[in-house]
Structure 1
Amino acid sequence: MAIISLEYYSEVLGMNREVKVIYPEQNKVENFTGKEIPVLYLLHGMSGNENSWINRSGIDRLIRKTNLAIVMPSTDLGFYINTTYGMNYFDAIALELPKVIHNFFPNLSTKREKNFIAGLSMGGYGAFRLALGTNTFSYAASLSGVLTFNGMEEHFDDNPAYWGGLFGTMENFKGSENEILPLAARFEGERPKLYAWCGKQDLLYSGNEYVANELKKMNYDLTYETADGIHEWYYWTRKIETVFEWLPINYIKEERAF
């Protein structure tokens, strides 16, 4: 596969942005046609950027025989939303970036059934927020995602400048388009298939349990898994392979060297 660094000007954000793209290579992928290539948008967590998945997971090696392109953008610490301070990261990724990517890589599919999204921690929230806030992605996966702020209200009080800059007050956040469960309840159209995983020793475990149960009550097609684990890359690098196996692609798994 090829790893490509793409710098482009975002009209939405009013600045240059960089995105990493993993592009499948014809001589590595069996029955490669080079047309309508499936695309996974893969999102980083807090403190990460567009390089995190490549640097921390070895993901490029994991998919080198699979016909899948991976697009890795960055929203800094912006939680993949349109913030109250005017940085519209949601619009930049949900609406603008797919057009930018297709302009540079016209062989990547624009069909909903071949566009997927996944992420870890903040990016797990982002994956569900983007999938449930658009009709762009047919599959969405969260690894240790921040899927609810129930029980985390003190964060808004401890750092009001940051959290308020993102979501406003907790009162503004509750029931808004940025809260996953109300967003899921209002979703219209063909629902995306969802996957969530969280370690049992993770600080976000109880929140994931709650959201998973509520999504199942809404009859979402959700695959929810747990196991022993904390909020750490060791687990995410392994569970991303489970996501590949879950996606409707012909994932060719390779033996790990680590």
Structure 2
Amino acid sequence: MRKIITLSAMLLMCVLSFAQQALWGGAAVISPEIHENNTVSFRLKAPKAVRVQVTGDFLPTQKIKTPYGEFDGPGAADLTEKDGVWEFTTPQPLKPELYSYTFLVDGLKINDPSNVYMIRDVASVTNVFIIGGERADLYKVNKVPHGTVAKVWYNSPTLGMDRRLTVYTPAGYETSGKRYPVFYLLHGMGGDENAWSELGRTAQILDNLIAQGKAKPMIVVMTNGNASQEAAPGESSLGYAPASMQLPKTMEGSFETAFPDVVNFIDRTYRTLKNKQNRAIAGLSMGGFHSMHISKQYPDMFNYVGLFSAAIMPGKDVKSPIYDNLEAKLKTQFDKKPALYWIAIGKTDFLYQANTDYRKMLDEKGYKYEYFETGEGHIWKNWRIYLSEFAPKLFK
């Protein structure tokens, strides 16, 4: 009798195990697998596939032509198949970094079903993983005091709508009773108020820098720079609207004109230090464009300005008073001696020449700025570096 009960129990466990595997898609395939030497293996179970590749920013870049220009894009590597499971292991250890990747199965791009960690960038969703060490440790959640990230709605009278912000408050904000400086951090074209917190790892970078004593505790406000939008795709009254880079009211003056609405809301709502000396603004690409033009349009608003891979001038057909009288506005701004005007860009960025020309103009005028150059191009890897370099320079 005891043998029958034991056998029945074993059969039941097998059935439950089989049911669980059926529920979750069969036996587990480990992917990505980070080895002790920091090589990484990628695996995909696809027994009927003819060709499987992995594409990601850990591979050598290749030039990709788009309607918006030529960009550095991720390369691709072939996987080899054994018993229906395809596999690729990086030939060299990967350097510390946050990496993204997807699979190409017979030309169809899919996410890794073995990796639940994914990030959206405009209309693309990729899997992610981190190789720790060096600067990449700033991108990890470490055992340090943590700030709070909130999605906050505000009313913009200038744009005539309610809009959303992402706001980081440093560890201890809720109980300290102190007032804090504010850093306004702006995304690029096609991005939104989620971009810097998700792709840029802003909260992790600030938590770690502040804990290390390298950055001052500060509030970071991550705006939605698309003046026609209430909030990120799928998170507004439009419902699950498609994500797109082709949005109206992005670089034609509306966002810059309405930016005081953001500053006024933050100063009313949070315990801020309400003066130029305690405000900073920076952004990537389109956000760098906005940071440049907002800071010169309101020269008494920001003492720290950061241009990360910035677009510089509007399109030829764009007409707005925001962009008129550039040299006169820059003279006023630099005559007021901002504490920091910081320009950063990668050597292969498609905006490199525009930034070179802009720096030449600043040099000819004798305007002081700091310049930081990296390798590679118009990529999040660089923008996380720029944030981790820029933030420690603020509010000193």
1:104/1:189 Cα in 2 relative to 1: closer, same or farther (>3 Å)? same
Deviation at 1:219, TM superposition (A): 2.2
Retained in 2: the 8 A contact 1:4–1:21? yes
User: What is the identity, as a one-letter code, of the residue corresponding to 1:53?
Assistant: W
Query: Which of these residues, 335, 340, 347, is aligned with residue 200 of structure 1?
Result: 347
Any idea what SS the aligned residue of 1:63 has?
helix
Name the count of aligned residue pairs. 219
Equivalent-residue separation in structure 2 for 1:212 and 1:71 (angstroms):
27
Equivalent-residue separation in structure 2 for 1:43 and 1:180 (angstroms):
24
Equivalent-residue separation in structure 2 for 1:209 and 1:53 (angstroms):
25
Q: Does 1:124 align with 2:124?
A: no
Q: Does 1:41 align with 2:217?
A: no
For structure 1, which segment, 239-248 or 193-202, has the greater mean C-alpha deviation from structure 2 after superposition? 239-248
Calculate percent identity across the aligned residue pairs. Answer: 24
Deviation at 1:207, TM superposition (A): 0.8
Aligned residue in 1 for 2:167: 21
Give the structure with higher Rg (CA). 2
User: What is the identity, as a one-letter code, of the residue corresponding to 2:323?
Assistant: N
User: What is the identity, as a one-letter code, of the residue corresponding to 1:128?
Assistant: M
Aligned residue in 1 for 2:218: 68
User: What is the identity, as a one-letter code, of the residue corresponding to 1:18?
Assistant: R
Aligned residue in 1 for 2:202: 59
Q: Does 1:178 align with 2:344?
A: no
Retained in 2: the 8 A contact 1:124–1:141? yes
Equivalent-residue separation in structure 1 for 2:159 and 2:173 (angstroms):
37
User: What is the identity, as a one-letter code, of the residue corresponding to 1:110?
Assistant: K
Retained in 2: the 8 A contact 1:201–1:229? yes
Aligned residue in 2 for 1:255: none
1:210/1:241 Cα in 2 relative to 1: closer, same or farther (>3 Å)? same
1:35/1:27 Cα in 2 relative to 1: closer, same or farther (>3 Å)? closer
Aligned residue in 1 for 2:136: none
Query: Which of these residues, 109, 117, 120, is aligned with residue 273 of structure 2?
Result: 109
Q: TM-score of the superposition, structure 2-length normalised?
A: 0.51
Q: Which consecutive unaligned segments of at least 5 residues does structure 2 have?
A: 1-146, 211-215, 227-246
Equivalent-residue separation in structure 1 for 2:261 and 2:170 (angstroms):
23
User: What is the identity, as a one-letter code, of the residue corresponding to 1:91?
Assistant: T
1:80-229 pair list within 5 angstroms: 82=253, 88-93=254-259, 95-105=260-270, 107-134=271-298, 135-148=300-313, 156=316, 164=317, 167-168=318-319, 177-178=322-323, 181-182=326-327, 183-185=329-331, 187=333, 190-192=336-338, 193-229=340-376
**C-alpha distance after superposition, 1:132-185 (max 9, x if no partner):** 111200010011000146xxx6xx5xxxxxxx4xx23xxxx7xx6416952314
Q: Which has the higher strand share?
A: 2
1:186/1:102 Cα in 2 relative to 1: closer, same or farther (>3 Å)? closer
**C-alpha distance after superposition, 1:115-138 (max 9, x if no partner):** 000000000111111111112000
Runs of 4+ in 1 over 6 A off after TM superposition: none
Deviation at 1:245, TM superposition (A): 2.3
Retained in 1: the 8 A contact 2:256–2:322? no
1:180/1:191 Cα in 2 relative to 1: closer, same or farther (>3 Å)? farther
**C-alpha distance after superposition, 1:214-244 (max 9, x if no partner):** 1122222200122222101011111111111
Aligned residue in 2 for 1:4: 150
Retained in 1: the 8 A contact 2:180–2:273? yes
Any idea what SS the aligned residue of 2:283 has?
strand
Retained in 2: the 8 A contact 1:147–1:180? no
Aligned residue in 2 for 1:236: 383
User: What is the identity, as a one-letter code, of the residue corresponding to 1:184?
Assistant: L
Retained in 1: the 8 A contact 2:182–2:220? yes
Any idea what SS the aligned residue of 2:323 has?
coil
Retained in 2: the 8 A contact 1:79–1:125? no
Query: What is the Cα-based RMSD across aligned positions, in Å?
Result: 2.4
Retained in 1: the 8 A contact 2:181–2:395? no
Deviation at 1:67, TM superposition (A): 0.5
Equivalent-residue separation in structure 2 for 1:75 and 1:198 (angstroms):
20
Q: TM-score of the superposition, structure 1-length normalised?
A: 0.77
Deviation at 1:74, TM superposition (A): 1.1
